[in-house]
Amino acid sequence: MVIKVVNIETPQITCSSCQACCCSLEVRLISDTGVPEHHIYQDAHGNESMLRLDDGWCSALNRDTLLCSIYDNRPWVCREFAMGSYECVDERTIKM
């Protein structure tokens, strides 16, 4: 009996091929990273999150380049969300 192994490659995710799928997720602010006030939404209970605009995407996302306009001051959650990680691939799969 011969078993044939098929190598199915997943397309590599890079900044140049990213479609900013994670930028439409709810991002709670749990630490101070210097996010500018105009990008912060505060609910009635005082909880802070990244402001999302009418299109559902984060207000800090540059719509032309799909890059973060506050990258050096991005929230902790955004720093931990690794490009190409399981969570990243899952979000891309859901949104595409």
| Assessment of whether the complete model's pTM goes beyond 0.85 | no
What are 50-80's pLDDT values in tens digits? 999 999 999 999 988 888 899 899 999 888 8
Distance separating alpha carbons of residues 84 and 67, to the nearest angstrom: 16
Domain of 86 in residue numbering reads as 25-95
Six-digit token string for 6: 């098929």
Evaluate whether residue 6 is within a structural domain.
no
Distance separating alpha carbons of residues 5 and 71, to the nearest angstrom: 41
DSSP H helices, 16-66, are: none
**Which of 25, 24, 29 shows the shortest CA–CA distance to 41?**
29
Evaluate whether residue 81 is within a structural domain.
yes
Enclosing H/E stretch for 49: strand 48-50
Evaluate whether residue 42 is within a structural domain.
yes
Evaluate whether residue 18 is within a structural domain.
no
Evaluate whether residue 31 is within a structural domain.
yes
What are 7-62's pLDDT values in tens digits? 445 556 665 566 676 788 899 999 898 999 999 999 999 999 999 999 999 999 99
